[in-house]
Structure 1
Amino acid sequence: MLTQKVVKHIADLLPMHCEVCHLALTKPLPPSGICDHCSRYFAPIPRCQRCGLPTPFDIAECGECLKHPPKWRRLYCVADYQPPLAQYVHRLKYERQFWQASKLAVLLAQRIEKPAKVITFVPLHWGRYLRRGFNQSELIARSLARQLNVPCQSLFKRVRATPQQQGLTKVERKRNLDRAFLLNGEIVADHIAIVDDVLTTGSTVQHLCELLLEAGVKSVDIYCICRTPEPAS
C-alpha cells in the first residue's frame, strides 16, 4: 500500500488542473483545486447572516427572519446552488468522487468566522446509507472539522425512513420529517454546528436544531455548501 509520502511525490510529478476551467494550475497548488481566475465564481456575496439567502447588502437578519426567525443562530454557506458549485456537490453525491468533500470543505472553512465547539451533520437512515455506502454531509463535516481543528461527532440518528425532500413544498417537507430523528447520545457542548450539503427550506436542520435546543444547547449554527431559495408552497 502506498504511503502518504509516496502518493505526495507522485502527485508532485503529475500536472494538476483547475476543477472548473481545466487549465494547468501553478504551484503552490490551491487546496480547493481551483485557479485564481475561477475562484471569482465563489466570491462571497451579501447575504442575511441568519438564513443565508442573498440580500442587497450584508445584514444580521432579513425581514423574513425578523418575522419568522429560524431556530439556528447563524448560517454559513459557500454560494447558491448553481454551476460550478452545484457540479461539485453532484460529483460527490452521485458520482462517488469522495475527494470533492475536502475541496468543498476548504471553500466553506473560508466563510466561517467563529467555529462552533462541535461539528455534527445531517444523518442518513441506515437503509439509505447501506444503499449509497456513504453520507456526503458526514464526509464534508469531518473534513471541515479537521480544517477548523474542532471535533466532529455523530449527534443524531434517523429512526424513520422518509421520502427525499427534493420536490416537496415547505409544508410537505415539515410533515415528512415528523418523528424522523432522535439524539444519538448525551450533548455536552453549548455551541454546535450542523453540516448539510444543500439547504433549501431548512426543514431538516430546523428539526435537528429543536432537538439540540431542547437538550440544553445554547447556540446552533448551520454550515452548508449551497443555499437555495425554497420552492413555492
Structure 2
Amino acid sequence: MCVDCADWPAALIAARALYVYRGPVRAALHRAKYRGERRRMEELASELGRVSPEIVAPWRCELTCVVPIPLHPLRWRERGFNQSALLAKAVAGQLDIPIHDRLERIRDTASQVGRTRSQRWTNVAGAFVWSGSPLQGTVLLIDDTITTGATVAAATTALVQAGASAVVVLAFARATEQFQA
C-alpha cells in the first residue's frame, strides 16, 4: 500500500487505473480537460470502457452502479463536459450496470494542480454530497486521474454516508509521484 493509500477511507476497498499519468497519457488528458477536446476525451473513455470488465473483474458481481466524480457547475460551464462522466458512461455501458450521477460537488474547489498532498486533502474535504436515493452495495467510482486520492477519498465518504457499503475506484490514469504532507 502506498503512503497516500494508507489514509483512504476503509470503505474504499480498491483503486485501479489503466495507465500511469505521464508522457502521452498525461498530454492526452491535459488536452482533453484544459483545451476542451471533448472528442479526445470520448476516445479515452472508449479505451477505458473496453478494458473495464477485466480491470474490475474481482469486484464485478458486487458492483451495483457507476458514479462519476462530478465537476462543480461553474467548472462544467467552463469546460463544457465532465471528463469523469464520459469515462463513466463508457464503463457502465461495457459492464451493463446503471450510472447514478447524483454525487454533487457542493463547493467550487480550487484546482488540485500544483498543490501539496495536505493542501489537496484540505481542498476537497467535505466537497461532495449525495442527493439521490440511498445507495446499496459496492459502488464503482470513476475519475480521470488519481494523484494522492484526496478527491476519491472525499467522494467515498459521501457515498458511504448515502448507504454504499464499499467503493471501488477506476481511473484512466494514476500518478506515481509521492506528495509531501
**TM-score interval, normalised by the smaller of the two chains:** 0.7 to 0.9
Supply the AA of the counterpart residue of 2:8: P
TM-score by length of structure 2 reads: 0.84
TM-score by length of structure 1 reads: 0.66
Q: Distance in 2 between matches of 1:168 and 1:123?
A: 20
1:200 aligned residue (147, 154, 157) = 147
Q: Which residue of 2 aligns with 1:89?
A: 29
- Counterpart check, 1:231 vs 2:179: yes
Q: Distance in 2 between matches of 1:132 and 1:104?
A: 17
Q: Which has the higher contact order (CA 8 A, sep 6+)?
A: 2
- Counterpart check, 1:217 vs 2:161: no
Structure 2: tracts of 5 or more residues without a match: none
Work out which of the two has the higher radius of gyration on C-alpha atoms and give 1 or 2. 1
Residues 139, 167 of structure 2: 8 Å contact kept: yes
Structure 1 position 231, deviation (Å): 2.3
Q: Secondary structure at the match of 1:124?
A: coil
- Counterpart check, 1:126 vs 2:70: no
Q: Secondary structure at the match of 2:125?
A: coil
Residues 106, 128 of structure 2: 8 Å contact kept: yes
Task: Please state which structure has a larger fraction of its residues in helix.
Answer: 2
Structure 1 position 197, deviation (Å): 0.5
1:108 aligned residue (48, 51, 62) = 48
RMSD: 2.1
Structure 1: tracts of 5 or more residues without a match: 1-61
Structure 1 position 102, deviation (Å): 4.0
Q: Distance in 1 between matches of 2:119 and 2:7?
A: 20
Supply the AA of the counterpart residue of 1:190: G
Q: Secondary structure at the match of 1:222?
A: strand
Structure 1 position 98, deviation (Å): 2.4
Q: Secondary structure at the match of 1:167?
A: coil
Task: Please state which structure has a larger fraction of its residues in strand.
Answer: 2
2:112 aligned residue (130, 152, 165) = 165
Residues 194, 220 of structure 1: 8 Å contact kept: yes
Structure 1 position 216, deviation (Å): 2.4
Residues 16, 170 of structure 2: 8 Å contact kept: yes
Residues 102, 144 of structure 1: 8 Å contact kept: no
